[in-house]
Amino acid sequence: MKKVWIVVAILLPFHAMIQSFADGGDVDPLVDVVVNIEIKRIRTIDIDLNSPPTIKVDIEVNGEKWEKEAIGYDIWNFGIAQFNIPDDMEEIEISIKAYKNGGIADISNESYDLHITYNLLTGSWQGDDWLGDANGYGHASGTEDGVYDENDCELWFDISYNDYDGDGLTYWEEVNIYHTDPMLSDAGIDYDGDGVPIEWEDKYGYDPFVYEEHSKLDVDRDGLQNVEEWQMQKWLADPFRQDIYVEIDFMEEHNGIKPIMPEESLQLQYSAFTKHNIMFLADNGIMGGSDIIPYENLDWDKMKELYNKYFLKNSSRKGVFHYSVIIHSFRGFGRGVAGFNFKRDAFAVCSAYIQKWRPWRKGMIIAHGGAYMHELGHQLGLPHLRVFPWQILYWLSWNYKSCMNYRYTFKIVDYSDGSHGFMDRDEWGNLDLQRFER
């Protein structure tokens, strides 16, 4: 009988075969449904500079539980939980809990844990995370409730099931919405010729059969057009949440001093941005774009040469990434400096200078983070307050608690929101993420 069915199925028109599959009541009659919940990245927001935490994730579906534990401030490719689901269930409830050093961590905008309803017909979800929310689809953070002292963590995740052709489109969508073949993969196909494939448009709520100007659309005003958001999807780009990408290159060791950007310094910056629904991600080697640059004495012309040689070698990064280089020192100002911008989309941080003035571990971490975030702030359109202890303005500016204030550059890894009184500025409300050199 099985062989006869196969022959008949081949001879039947496609729509008739689909109807025969649909008669059984399965959400997808081509597979035994298995839901995959992928934890792409999880990180702690409250950074303990003494040691990275132990992070554990528990996921529960239909009474079944998956759990995993790892150590780190920022863990990528954490794991994939798989659950066999009754084939006639159109929706499932998913609970995700995180623990940090044994205590419950806050990853939600409501309670501490994350509650999500996943629809197997549409492949979408809602609940404590939804398409178009402020901090990204498939991203949840304990900072969403505005309280930052509850063992806050954030995680990036995706939910899917094992659709037969593996194209990320559900059986129901293919049959009832797109009228594509659920037995043939459509992954990567741009049916409407607007620059992005069907599965990306489907995930983010666009119609993959209606032309959109994705090469110009920048709904979240972060300087990345939708085509670039799609190209950066591996690195968690979201077209409805602002994203900042920066490449970091390092000058090699010289006279026993190695230019650095400590991991903890980056993590402090990531946490500052995520509290304002912005994802900042630096390529310090994790994305394959970081170079070690031979030592030399630098001037303005040589800085531009570094930009052309090391950043522009990957032309696709221009307009998507900012460029930063961690050098020893720079005398182009006639004095030592902690950093400087040398192009609209490029800046340097002088690590040897920072190490000289902040030689202890905690001071070095905070000063590198503050100086880097200061120069990045210039990239995003923020001015600084250039004051020194011998100036009265230095002593009047204590309310302006920002790394853009020279008084705090080595002490604070954050911008200000303008709420602290006299002389303060709302920098978070005035960032210009579209400020690129094109």
For residue 184, pLDDT over 50 is answered with yes
pLDDT per residue as tens digits for the range 389-404:
999 999 999 999 999 9
**What is the model's pLDDT at position 24?**
52
Comparing CA positions, the residue from 400, 419, 422, 420 lying closest to residue 411 is 400
Q: Are strands 91-100 and 103-105 parallel, antiparallel or unpaired?
A: antiparallel
- 295 in Cβ contact with 352 (< 8 Å): no
What's the average model confidence in pLDDT over 304-313? 97
Q: In the CATH hierarchy, which fold is given to the domain comprising 34-162?
A: Immunoglobulin-like (2.60.40)
What's the mean pLDDT when you consider all of the chain? 93
- Model confidence, pTM: 0.93
Question: What residue ranges of the chain are covered by domains with CATH 2.60.40?
Answer: 34-162
Instruction: Read off the pLDDT band of 437 (50, 70, 90).
Output: confident
Question: What residue ranges of the chain are covered by domains with CATH 3.40.390?
Answer: 241-430
pLDDT per residue as tens digits for the range 318-327:
999 999 999 9
pLDDT per residue as tens digits for the range 266-298:
999 999 999 999 999 999 999 999 999 999 999
- 138 in Cβ contact with 130 (< 8 Å): no
Helix H or strand E encompassing 281: strand 278-283
- 190 in Cβ contact with 38 (< 8 Å): no
Q: Partners of 327 in the beta sheet?
A: 350
For 236, phi then psi, to 5°, come to 75, 20
Residue carrying structure tokens 């741009």: 190
For residue 9, pLDDT over 60 is answered with no
Comparing CA positions, the residue from 318, 380, 306 lying closest to residue 348 is 306
What is the CATH number that goes with domain 241-430? 3.40.390
Range 114-120, long-range pairs (CB < 8 A, 24+ positions): 114/140, 116/159, 117/91, 117/92, 117/93, 118/35, 118/91, 118/92, 118/94, 118/159, 119/90, 119/91, 120/27, 120/28, 120/33, 120/35, 120/85, 120/89, 120/90, 120/91, 120/92, 120/161, 120/170, 120/172
